[in-house]
Amino acid sequence: MTIPAQRRYGTRQQEETQIRYLSIEKAGLLDFVEMAYAPGLRIDYNFFRISFLSVRNCVSDGINIKYAHPYSKSLLEKVIVENNLGNGILTRSPFLELSHLLLKNNGKAGFVYDPMFTEYEALSVRNFISRNVTESLTDIYNMVLAEREMKFITTTVGQADEDKTYTIQVSIHVVIPASLIEAIHRVIGASFYTCNNVS
């Protein structure tokens, strides 16, 4: 079962996806693109509130969260994940709230936070992003964001190695959640600084 990608702000969908009292068992079809079995529940890029969920006896991970919306307070509560052949819960996103979980007898780890995307996963995230919420890193130097507004900063797609330093000034008066979504084989770094007039 897959919950597809959704943007929250600037779209018609303003409320989180809600799932209650759901049982998923013996799930996991073969994904011929990745040549791996799909998890019992996959959440691509969404904002959600899921409660009273059980995921059991799946042939891969029980729950796989590709990315959670940073402002959404996505929640998994009262969840049982057991006897899956892969990980109980695998998340690529730190923007997640968990409450009252039972992770039991999974083939690998019970809970894994792994922010590294494969090349296929990074491309799939990039492909769903609409042009009106992206800014090209080579074209901007100063960005103004409204409260809860979100932008994806992209680089030029290409095969050549890139050795550059980019400087972006963001004018906003709230916390800036930042995450690098990229398929990389070399070290990449990001530094964040605040100026004196930002509290």
Q: Per-domain residue ranges for the chain?
A: 2-113, 131-199
Minimum mean pLDDT range among 5-14, 45-54, 132-141: 5-14
d(CA 113, CA 82): 18
- pLDDT score recorded for residue 82: 97
pLDDT value at position 118? 74
Give 88's contacts (C-beta < 8 A, 6+ positions apart).
Answer: 61, 62, 63, 81, 82, 103, 104, 106, 109, 110, 111
Q: For the residues 4-30, what does the mean pLDDT come to? A: 74
Instruction: Express each pLDDT in 118-158 by its tens digit.
Output: 777 777 766 766 677 777 776 556 777 777 677 777 776 66
Decide which of 40 and 96 is more confident. Answer: 40
Asked if the model's pLDDT at residue 106 lies above 90, the reply is: yes
Residue 194 has pLDDT above 70, yes or no: no
Structure tokens at 29: 């079809």
Name the pLDDT band for 102 (thresholds 50, 70, 90). very high
Place of tokens 């409660």: 51
pTM metric for this prediction: 0.71
Predicted pLDDT of residue 80: 97
What length does the chain have?
199
